[in-house]
Amino acid sequence: MICDNNHHVLAISDCMDGNHNDSFELVENMELLTRTLKEADVNLQNSHLNADAGFDVAAFIEVIENKHKMIANIPKNKRNSKKTAQEYRYLGEYIYGFRKKIETVFAWLDTYKRILIRFEYKAQNFKSWLHIASSLISVCP
């Protein structure tokens, strides 16, 4: 899910089963999100993508920075680093503070019981409910 600084949900990726971690099909889902935003004429170049350390995946960061020309503002995953040499990567602490915006959106989505418990078996139905809930929180935050 991608949202802006005004808590508006801009794009929602396909839903995945709960037995997968956050980085499962991460690049494919990012391609879907960016394609959705480009179809809506949203310019992503030079924008910051804030994500938590679980998204510190080399292939994902490469797609973000090289293909989409965005700035990946993702902290290093300490459990993922096997290199002994310190490698520098940009992390804007001030900008990373805006990560709370998406966490707030997630908290607002969790106020809808149908989404929190996930009654829907089909991923497309669940995604539809996410769109409805996202529209509601965008209209009346």
Q: Identify which of 1, 18, 19, 21 has the alpha carbon closest to the alpha carbon of residue 10.
A: 1
The answer on pLDDT for 84 being more than 70 is no
Residue 65 burial by CB count (10 A; 0-12/13-18/19+): exposed, middle or buried?
middle
Q: What is the mean pLDDT of residues 107-127?
A: 83
> Cα 65–33–58 angle (5° rounding)?
35
The string of pLDDT tens digits covering residues 34-59 is 998 999 999 989 888 888 888 888 88
Low-confidence winner among 4-13, 84-93, 94-103, 115-124 (lowest mean pLDDT): 84-93
User: Tokens for 44?
Assistant: 């992503």
Mean pLDDT of the chain: 83
Distance in angstroms (rounded) separating the CA atoms of residues 12 and 40? 13
- pLDDT exceeds 80 at position 60: yes
